[in-house]
Amino acid sequence: MLKIFKRNIKSEYKERLTKSFPKKLYSDLNAVLKIIPFDNNKVKPFDGTIHQVDNLIHENELDVVLDNETLTIPYRLYFDEPNPELEKTLTDKQKDILNCIYLRHHNGHIREERLNLLSDNLEKWTVPFLIQLIGEYIYELLPIIDKK
């Protein structure tokens, strides 16, 4: 297949995640997107089997209007977490962006871990990600959200 006709799926993933955040965060978001491993399309659910997925971002989305901007947040993500060493290089705001992204992960344990990692100084743009968690009826997350 000619390279010009080949889809650049990584750029599509980055574009979809960019639409999840306000424009004022784009420079911080770009730093976060550089460390996300978009290459891995193997999902390992709780039963230990490994499944290959064609799309690492689920097609369902939630549209939210925040300060006159429409944010489009994916329902689920299937890519792996970034290298912890790379994560340490992020600023606090960038870490909150990363944690919000992983609040949409297919693995509930990762969602819970990322919720605990969100800073206590939350900004308005984190609210749509938290609201989605409340709607998932995962009772273990509600006390954590309540503390935020």
- What are the pLDDT digits (tens) for 6-65? 457 788 999 999 999 999 999 999 999 999 998 765 555 555 555 555 678 888 899 999
pTM for this structure? 0.83
- What are the pLDDT digits (tens) for 85-108? 999 999 999 999 999 999 999 888
Q: How far, CA to CA in Å, does 9 sit from each of 40, 41, 54, 67, 102?
A: 12, 11, 10, 30, 19
The C-alpha atoms of residue 8 and residue 99 are separated, in whole angstroms, by 25
In total, how many domains does the chain have? 1
The C-alpha atoms of residue 88 and residue 91 are separated, in whole angstroms, by 8
Range of 8's domain? 3-147
